[in-house]
Amino acid sequence: MESPQVQGYLAGLLPIKENRSESIAAEVLARTSTVHYQDIRIPEVQVDAQLGHGNGLELTAQVLAEPSSIKVSASMPIPKPGTTLDLRTIAGRLAVDIHSLNDFLNDPNVLGAFSVGGVVTMQNLEPDGKISFLGSSVNYRGLTAQTVDLELNFAHDHIEIAKGNIDFGSSDTIDIGGTVELADPFRYHLDNKIAFQDLRLFNSFLNNFVENLVSISRLPGRPRTSPPLPSY
């Protein structure tokens, strides 16, 4: 983390009321110029927190890597004295606009086009919105996906995998679909179809992590397709 900066402001109204949050306003602004973590580089992080006269607490955090950005915002009322916070009163919003993974890498080494975008809001502990992942000719450390088309739909009480296709070319594909419930016991149902005719496409990628890896040979015969996953 480089050049962190923090500023704070505090104001109040007299006389101070029993519920102090109605008489006090505060704001904290935090900034960093660059954050490094292993292969990840984030040029700028901004965090703003505001406590207003009776307006509750508002928090905004932004991860900026031009032209890409990730923004998280949340708001919540301050409980009155003698009461506890009701989690259902917390509202939130996530906005993702990633133009390229290279925007967040120290060594931009992802070839092709890959983007992530979408907005998810939160009310009453229920999310609503969608996040999409789109890519074409994506090459990362020797592993190439001709197309990537993933979409997660957040529908209040569950998450639906509306699209889940990764095509490596030459009849090598992964197709995933299903739903995950967002309430205890968090049941899920996944349908997947994985077909690989030539596993040698993984050789270059695996060599990044395992030295002297024995090359994977081509599978004889027809592509292997995995059975659907069970539901729980």
pLDDT computed for residue 206 by the predictor: 78
For residue 36, is pLDDT > 70? yes
pLDDT (tens digit, 9 = 90+) per residue, 155-190?
999 999 999 999 988 778 999 999 999 888 889 998
Residue 1 near residue 34, CB atoms below 8 Å: yes
Backbone region of residue 206 per phi and psi (left: phi > 0; alpha: psi in -120 to 50; beta: other values): alpha
pLDDT computed for residue 230 by the predictor: 52
pLDDT computed for residue 229 by the predictor: 52
CA distance 46 to 44: 7
> How many other CB atoms sit within 10 Å of the CB of residue 145?
22
pLDDT computed for residue 54 by the predictor: 63
CA distance 153 to 156: 9
Three-class secondary structure of residue 38 per DSSP: coil
pLDDT (tens digit, 9 = 90+) per residue, 126-144?
999 999 999 999 888 788 8
Confidence of residue 224 (pLDDT cuts 50, 70, 90): very low
For residue 151, is pLDDT > 70? yes
User: What sign does the dihedral 58-59-65-68 (CA atoms) show?
Assistant: negative
**CA within 13 Å, CB half, 215:** 6
CA distance 16 to 184: 43
Nearest C-alpha neighbor of 29 from the set 53, 12, 45, 11: 45
Q: What is the pTM of this model?
A: 0.78
Higher pLDDT, 98 or 198: 98
* Range 28-52 average pLDDT: 88
For residue 13, is pLDDT > 90? no
CA distance 141 to 207: 9
pLDDT (tens digit, 9 = 90+) per residue, 186-215?
899 988 888 887 777 777 777 777 765 555
What DSSP letter does each residue of 81-125 carry, written as one string? TT----GGG-EEEEEEEES-GGGGBSS--EEEEEEEEEEEEEETT
pLDDT computed for residue 221 by the predictor: 44
Q: What is the average pLDDT score of the chain?
A: 84
pLDDT (tens digit, 9 = 90+) per residue, 54-91?
678 999 999 999 999 999 999 998 888 788 889 999 99
Nearest C-alpha neighbor of 47 from the set 65, 34, 28: 28
pLDDT computed for residue 231 by the predictor: 53
CA distance 80 to 187: 36
Q: Domain ranges in the chain?
A: 109-232
Report how far apart the first and last C-alpha atoms of the chain are (Å, whole number): 42
